[in-house]
Each structure stands twice: as C-alpha cells, then as structure tokens.
Amino acid sequence: MRRKHHRPWTLSEVVKLVEGVAKYGAGRWSEIKRLAFASYSYRTSVDLKDKWRNLLRASFVQLPAEKGMQVQSSRKHASIPIPAPILLRVRELAEMQSQVPPSFSASKFAGHTGSDRSSVHE
DNA sequence: TTTAGGG
DNA sequence: CCCTAAA
C-alpha cells in the first residue's frame, strides 16, 4: 500500500533538487524531475516546489535574527537538519534567482561580484 | 500537463 | 503531503 503518505525527504533528494535548481533554474521542476529525478517514480513538480519552499524557510531562519523573534532555537519539527553548505547554497540560489525578499540582502557593499577574498581564478 | 499558491 | 486555479 504505497500510497502517497509519509515520504521523508532524504539528503540526497535535497542535494539533487538544489543542484537541479542551480543548474537549470528554479521553476523548471519538470526538467529537474525528468533529469535529476528520473530514478524516482514519485516526487512530482508539486513535491519539488513544496520542498524548495521548505528549504527556503530553513535557509532564512536561524541565521540573522530579524528584530527579535523566537529565540531558543525553534527546532520543533526538523526531520533531518540539512547541512550548512546545502542551506547556504539554497540561499545563494534563491538570491540569484530573485525569489528572496530584499530583507536579507544587507551585506557587502564594495565586494563586487567576487564572494571570496582573492579571486584569482574564476 | 505543468507552474504557482493555499490548506 | 493534498487540492485548486491559471497558463
């Protein structure tokens, strides 16, 4: 009875989703599902969008304190806490894809395009 | 059929 | 995750 119930997204799924968005772009769930998720029968466009939504929420929380909201580290329902590098990638992707509110874009002024310090090889 | 948003 | 609306 493998209906459509509990399907905990694993780290591999998240990585594939992030890599797919990073390569093809957010919103191309159909292509991502056809290419990166060709090995899986489940996970449709709706599921991909839903996971991305949840990923964004996980990426925007906890990093900078807005104005003083829920502290105490709200870890109520966190199945498998996504690693830092993944969350960082999601944030960068969301920022470059223009789906992130300008609330978090409050860093670097003379940093130009280079994210690293001495960008010799780019 | 796929994308986008809400429940 | 499931449902609905628009393209």
Which pLDDT score, from 0 to 100, does residue A81 have?
86
With contact defined as beta carbons under 8 Å apart, do A18 and A86 qualify? Answer: yes
Element housing A99 (H / E): none
pLDDT tens figures, A27-53: 999 999 999 999 988 899 999 999 999
CA-to-C1' span, A2 to C3 (A): 20
From the options 1.10.3720.10, 3.40.50.300, 1.10.10.10, 1.10.246.220, give the CATH code of A11-63+80-96. Answer: 1.10.246.220
Residue A16 · residue A36 · CB < 8 Å:
yes
Which nucleotide is nearest, taking the CA of residue A9 and each C1'? C1
Q: CA A34 → C1' B2, Å? A: 13
For chain B, which bases have at least one atom within 7 A of a protein Cβ?
A: 1-7
Question: How do the domains of chain A map onto residue ranges?
Answer: 11-63+80-96
State the DSSP H helix or E strand holding residue A50, giving kind and residue range, or none if neither: helix A45-60
pLDDT at A79: 81
